[in-house]
């Protein structure tokens, strides 16, 4: 089980473009069950504003994490457009504990990425998912960021207490590599 939390807020969604003329917006959910964002109560933006989900439904298209959401108090397209890009979070104590071999993205961002022999690769700055599974985006001290699959074979050890992840070479990975949490 993961160690002590790194942040009291956990990002669970990002508001995208307005959808229609009645104040609905597209929302990318970062929860295991995308519809779960409606169950956590008010969602908070970085500027302190809170948003309560009035209704939600899956967005059309193949992306299972995209929703069309109506927030209470957002009643027209202009108000919806003003929300584009807002990130919404909840207090960690409103979320269930992460399970075995599961991590909140907020716990991974900021960890130091090292090789098995201890050489520093950089810092985890994001955990993107472009459809084939989670990746760790690692920013080295110099040079371009690295993207590595967040799998057991590539990331065999996540040590939250020590503030690091171990990254092994991705050159000789088996094709049947398993995703973490799968």
Residue 119 is encoded by which pair of tokens? 């050489």
Residues 74 and 132 in one domain: no
Residues 66 and 120 in one domain: no
In angstroms, the Cα distances linking 24 to 53, 58, 78, 84 are 10, 12, 10, 11
pLDDT score recorded for residue 31: 84
Q: With beta carbons less than 8 A apart as the criterion, state whether 87 and 13 touch.
A: yes
Residues 63 and 131 in one domain: no
pTM score of the predicted model: 0.71
pLDDT score recorded for residue 93: 87
What range does the domain containing 128 cover? 105-166
The pLDDT tens digits for 99-150 are 777 888 888 999 999 999 999 999 999 988 877 788 999 999 888 999 999 9
Residue 4 lies in a domain: no
Q: Looking at residue 58, which CATH number applies to its domain? A: 2.40.30.60
């Amino acid at each position: 089980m993961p160690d002590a939390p790194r942040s009291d807020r956990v990002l669970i969604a990002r508001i995208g473009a307005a959808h229609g003329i009645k104040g609905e917006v597209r929302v990318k959910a970062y929860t295991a069950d995308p519809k779960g964002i409606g169950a956590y109560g008010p969602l908070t933006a970085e500027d302190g504003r809170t948003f309560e989900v009035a209704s939600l439904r899956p967005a059309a298209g193949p992306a299972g994490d995209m929703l069309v959401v109506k927030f209470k108090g957002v009643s027209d397209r202009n108000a919806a457009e003003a929300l584009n890009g807002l990130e919404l979070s909840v207090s960690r104590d409103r979320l269930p504990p992460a399970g075995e071999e599961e991590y909140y993205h907020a716990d991974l961002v900021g960890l130091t990425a090292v090789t098995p022999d201890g050489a520093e690769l950089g810092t985890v700055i994001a955990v993107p998912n472009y459809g084939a599974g989670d990746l760790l985006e690692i920013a080295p001290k110099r040079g371009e960021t690295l993207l590595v699959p967040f799998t057991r074979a590539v990331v065999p050890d996540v040590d939250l207490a020590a503030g690091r992840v171990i990254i092994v070479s991705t050159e000789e990975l088996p094709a049947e590599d398993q995703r973490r949490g799968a």
